[in-house]
Structure 1
Amino acid sequence: MSDLFQLSSPWWEFVLRAVAIYVLVMLLVRLSGKRAVGQFTPFDLVLLILLGNAVQNGLNGGDNSLAGAGILAVCLIALNYGVAFVAARSPGARKLIEGEPVVLARDGKVFRQVLRRELVSNADFLEAMRETGCSEIERIRVATLETNGRISIVLADDESSTR
């Protein structure tokens, strides 16, 4: 029973591991692009599960104690809160962490190269148009890929519509 709470490493090693893995995973998610975050497919769910399994040993270093799990959980939640706190108060940090919205179309012209670069399929763009009630590309004043992966569309004859 005492093994449940017996750490195999010093507490600070768990904190260091949590910080290192958190930064690595955040960087990888950031590099994967906005659509990967904003639109979960079954493949993305599989990736998320496998990613969690892949970093597990890096986090706990083979420790299976409740104390180690508790330290890691508290540290990861604190890191997430800290990142959100900084992003909410610093435009520069927010830009670094979340990125910036990207214009996909303007004045009825769709920027196909931008769609490809941002990994937005034509089907996803057309779906956003349908959800906005836009049947013709010419009606688009501006279409933007938001930092959360959603596509927002403002129509030329409307003030705002979003997906």
Structure 2
Amino acid sequence: MNPYIDIVIRSICVYFFMVIALRIFGKKELSQLNASDIVLILLISNAVQNAMVGSDISLEGGIIAAFSLFLVNFIFKKTVNRSAFLSQLVQSKPEILIHDGIIDFKALSRLDITSDELDEVIREHGLENYKHVKLAMFEINGSISVISGNDNLIQTKHKRIHKSLS
């Protein structure tokens, strides 16, 4: 087999492995990087480099691997945007974290978001605490969007939002 075709096939396999791994390990990992996450990304890139180019350390091999990744990413995004099935498979739906000042603790737990992380995002949006939040959504890209409410929002004790897993 042509060594460059081998690089293309290896690169495409690594790409899809990474897409699946990120889907399994969660979108939160993409939007909230800390030092250990950056180290992980650097180590993963080093680990998969050899899987993509093998023993070929030439400039051409690296360019072919990079081009293959750009091309498969472009095609994959176009395909996902046109296919409802693939879109649902690859991208999860936005989830409500806070509604009218009431925190959905089940959603936070399921998404592995700590109350400290949620508090930080609320403060970043200029609000003092969750009671002032009309709506906080965990978006499909891993970010949390916050819409402020009025000052009269009060949380009812033990009342939580129950979101179905549909």
> Which category describes the TM-score, using the shorter chain as reference length?
0.7 to 0.9
Unpaired segments ≥5 residues, structure 2 = 152-166
TM-score, structure 2 length as denominator?
0.81
In the other structure, the counterpart of 1:53 is: 46
| CA deviation after TM superposition for structure 1 residue 80, in Å | 1.3
In the other structure, the counterpart of 1:12 is: 5
| CA deviation after TM superposition for structure 1 residue 78, in Å | 0.3
AA of the residue aligned to 1:127: E
Unpaired segments ≥5 residues, structure 1 = 1-7, 159-163
The one of 130, 134, 137 equivalent to 1:141 is 134
Q: Does the 8 Å contact 2:123/2:129 carry over to 1? A: no
| CA deviation after TM superposition for structure 1 residue 91, in Å | 4.0
In the other structure, the counterpart of 1:118 is: 111
Check if 1:102 corresponds to 2:95. yes
Aligned runs of 1:65-84 on 2, under 5 Å?
65-84=58-77
| Structure 2 Cα separation of the partners of residues 136 and 65 of structure 1 | 54
Q: Which runs of 4+ in 1 moved over 4 A?
A: none
TM-score, structure 1 length as denominator?
0.83
CA RMSD of the aligned region, Å? Answer: 2.0
Q: Does the 8 Å contact 2:119/2:129 carry over to 1? A: no
Q: Does the 8 Å contact 2:138/2:144 carry over to 1? A: yes
Paired residue total: 151
